[in-house]
Amino acid sequence: MGYVLLHMDMISTVYRFLAFLAYPGLNAVIGLMVTTVFMFFFARAQSWYEWKVADMYSVTLSLVLTFGSLGAILNGSNPVWQVSAWVAIWAFATFLIVSRVRKNFRFYSWYKGESSIAQEGLASLIFILNVGMYYMVVSLIDNLNWKIGIVPVELIIGFLIFVASIYLINKRVGRRDHSLWGKLSNIIRRK
């Protein structure tokens, strides 16, 4: 809104005045990161359980991304149609998976393990896992400028997000793990 008020000479019609989301536009990634940080601090200030809020936020965010990606396909805002199609498919599949996990995570015996109840947070970690997969696939089909050698930066970021989410899921599983992975996790936690 500040942009519209400071650049009234560029806003020639009522439509352009009301379409402040399209002119000059928003950066979706920055907006999602700021919203996520705000949700975390707001939940903490309200003494809510952060993982439960993160699970609900993940379901809501995946639904918003589904409708947003369909809108992007309909208005043709991305010149690379394969990326728009991939975003729409990814967002819808993520919504289906995350909402299903949010609904049924208490009944997953592999997640509950030896605990009496399953911990909150699986849906948000699955959402983060899907974000990592999204970045890995987009790095392969989109024409990206940032590369380290021949490897797109998005591929590296997606891989790191993917691995981090798998590690956090394994860390939140309610079982005592006596495998090599469990021993390594215990060593890392002690430091």
- Considering the entire predicted model, what is its pTM? 0.70
Do 34 and 98 lie in one domain? The reply is no
Cis peptide before 79 (omega within 30 of 0): no
Do 57 and 146 lie in one domain? The reply is yes
Do 44 and 58 lie in one domain? The reply is no
Q: What pLDDT tens digit does each residue of the chain (191 aa) get?
A: 555 566 566 656 665 555 555 555 556 667 778 888 898 899 889 988 888 888 889 999 899 888 888 887 877 766 767 777 888 888 999 999 999 888 877 666 655 556 656 678 888 889 999 989 888 888 887 766 777 777 888 888 889 999 999 888 887 776 555 565 565 666 666 55
Measured CA to CA, the distance from residue 156 to residue 153 in angstroms comes to 5
Do 74 and 105 lie in one domain? The reply is yes
Measured CA to CA, the distance from residue 101 to residue 105 in angstroms comes to 5
Measured CA to CA, the distance from residue 59 to residue 91 in angstroms comes to 11
Do 14 and 78 lie in one domain? The reply is no
> Where in the chain does DSSP place strands (E)?
147-148, 151-152
- Domain of residue 160: give its range: 50-190
Do 28 and 61 lie in one domain? The reply is no
Q: How many structural domains are present in the chain?
A: 2
Do 37 and 130 lie in one domain? The reply is no
Q: Is the dihedral of CA 27, 30, 31, 32 positive or negative?
A: positive
- Residue 33 has a pLDDT of 81
Q: 3-class SS at 114?
A: coil
Do 20 and 40 lie in one domain? The reply is yes
Do 69 and 160 lie in one domain? The reply is yes
